[in-house]
Amino acid sequence: ETTSQYETIETLAASFTQVRSTRLLKKPAVTKGKFYYEKPAKFLWQFTDPYTISVMSEGKFLYKVDQDRGVYSKLKVKKYESTIMNFMDVSKAFKFLNKYFYIKQIDTKLKDLYIIFIPKKRRVKKHVKLVEVWLYPDTRLFHRIKVEEKNDSVTEITFHHCKINQKLPAGVFDISLKGLKKEKWQE
């Protein structure tokens, strides 16, 4: 049911809050921003607070633009393109995840749908302990995602103000690299 509902999504816009906890940080790192998606293969993560960085797909490349530092980096994703685009096409996301994770819906007394993803493959198990997803019951959209890594780092993303199939802001995917210095892609 969730997968078929995603097939109708052409555009998606949302605000997000990301909280990342690691052993290296005294306090969790909190970032905020906006996310845009347009079928079949465009997405943009705009981190707006406490810094401004954009990560965007464009064809066979991912771009990371740091306006504050005046730099950008470009990563050729040809090898991973189909994997990335399958994951970003929300209608294919669960099919993709099912290949690498056991998927189990947990019945809770909350209104949300709660699904856990447990790694199947050794390659994934080396990095990820568990992925938890909370979905809105009416739209089946992700509203919270929590990833627990093997190194005990935890990343939690909460989505707010989700808009489905509405016109995206004009030029949202037009990011100018003019005047920016190119640097090597870093994780």
| pLDDT tens digit sequence for 20-42 | 999 999 999 999 999 998 887 78
| Tokens found for residue 58 | 């464009």
| Tokens found for residue 5 | 């509902």
Residue 135 lies in a domain: yes
Beta bridge partners of residue 163, listed in sequence order: 13
Residue 119 lies in a domain: yes
| Tokens found for residue 92 | 């294919």
Residue 94 lies in a domain: yes
Residue 57: CATH number of its domain:
2.50.20.10
| pLDDT tens digit sequence for 82-100 | 555 544 555 566 677 778 8
CB 143 within 8 A of CB 158: yes
Does the reported pTM lie above 0.85? Answer: no
Domain count, the chain: 1
Which of 156, 161, 153 lies closest to 145, judged by CA? Answer: 156
| Least confident range of 40-49, 90-99, 159-168 | 90-99
